[in-house]
Amino acid sequence: AMAFETILVETKGGVGVITLNRPAQLNALNDQLIGELNQALDGFEADEAIGAILVTGSDKAFAAGADIKEMAAKTYMDAYKGDFIASWERISRCRKPVIAAVAGFALGGGCELAMSCDFVLAADTAKFGQPEIKLGIMPGAGGTQRLVRAVGKAKAMELCLTGRMMDAEEAERAGLVARVVPAQDLLAEALKTAEAIAAMSHTAAMMTKDCVNRAFETTLAEGIRYERRTFHAMFATDDQKEGMAAFMEKRRPQFRNS
């Protein structure tokens, strides 16, 4: 395993687990953390044994946002020339499914990081918000775009303009999170979900994710065409033959990811 300072990385069966680990700063996201996160994602993406990736934080915080102390003195030229935030996009380019397990604060860049995952499982202690406006700035890692798609304009606009926090129950009702579970069950539930996904055909899961994400990028007619072509391609895979044979033979499928 690689030596990281701001994250913990482990594998549990077919699941790659990344735990954000700057507890004294409520997992505030600095350059080092994003760099290490990206390296860990590269590793899991390249690892044939990994079928799903889980990103989580601590009981108190998934992440309380970008590191304000690191950002405070930046100039426009620093931000522009350094292409500030561009490196945060790595997670949304993952081809394997990525689940965010959120307990405590997911604020600013932390909320944006969670929304960059494929879906969010939340502890009942989770609190989501885009408080950037209180710092005299605005969301810069997708908050004004992904939050609107997740919860609609009214709630997204209110959250971004007031900076107020939304609790887990409201977030679930609004469609930001897939499911809320008691805090003490979050990690076990998230692992169970990730393991279930990792046990599927990896190819089928990757293609499914790709098609669902298309829905946010294109028109319905184009999305349907894209889905149909991808669906057709599945009949070229061994996993389709195995999955359907297993059903007919009333046994569990043994996907070979081919």
Contacts of ligand CO8 in 85-124 (CB under 6 A) = 85, 105, 107-109
Q: Give the closest residue to 113 by CA, choosing from 80, 66, 69, 79.
A: 66
- Do 234 and 240 form a contact (C-beta atoms < 8 A)? yes
Q: Is 135 in the site for ligand CO8 (CB under 6 A)?
A: yes
Question: What is the DSSP-derived secondary structure letter of residue 195?
Answer: H
Bridge-based pairing of strands 127-129 and 166-167 is antiparallel
What does residue 227 show for φ and ψ, rounded to 5 degrees?
Answer: -60, -45
Kindly give, in sequence order, each residue whose CB lies less than 8 Å from that of residue 50, ignoring residues fewer than 6 positions away: 11, 14, 15, 16, 44, 96, 198
Q: Which is nearer to ligand CO8, 141 or 191 (CB)?
A: 141
132 tagged catalytic: yes
Q: Is 13 in the site for ligand CO8 (CB under 6 A)?
A: no
Q: What is the C-alpha separation between 62 and 21, in angstroms, rounded?
A: 9
Write down the least CB distance from residue 155 to ligand CO8, Å.
Answer: 18
Q: Is 229 in the site for ligand CO8 (CB under 6 A)?
A: no
Contacts of ligand CO8 in 138-157 (CB under 6 A) = 139-141
Contacts of ligand CO8 in 62-91 (CB under 6 A) = 64-69, 85
* Strand (E) or helix (H) holding 18: strand 15-20
Catalytic residue of the set 132, 171, 198, 205: 132
Catalytic residue of the set 66, 103, 168, 190: 66
109 tagged catalytic: yes
Q: Which is nearer to ligand CO8, 69 or 179 (CB)?
A: 69
Q: Is 57 in the site for ligand CO8 (CB under 6 A)?
A: no
Q: Which is nearer to ligand CO8, 183 or 199 (CB)?
A: 183
CB atoms within 10 A of CB 215: 14
How would you class 1 by CB atoms within 10 Å of its CB: exposed for 0-12, middle for 13-18, buried for 19 or more? exposed
Q: Which residues are catalytic?
A: 66, 109, 112, 132
Binding site for ligand CO8 (CB under 6 A): 25-26, 28, 64-69, 85, 105, 107-109, 131-132, 135, 139-141
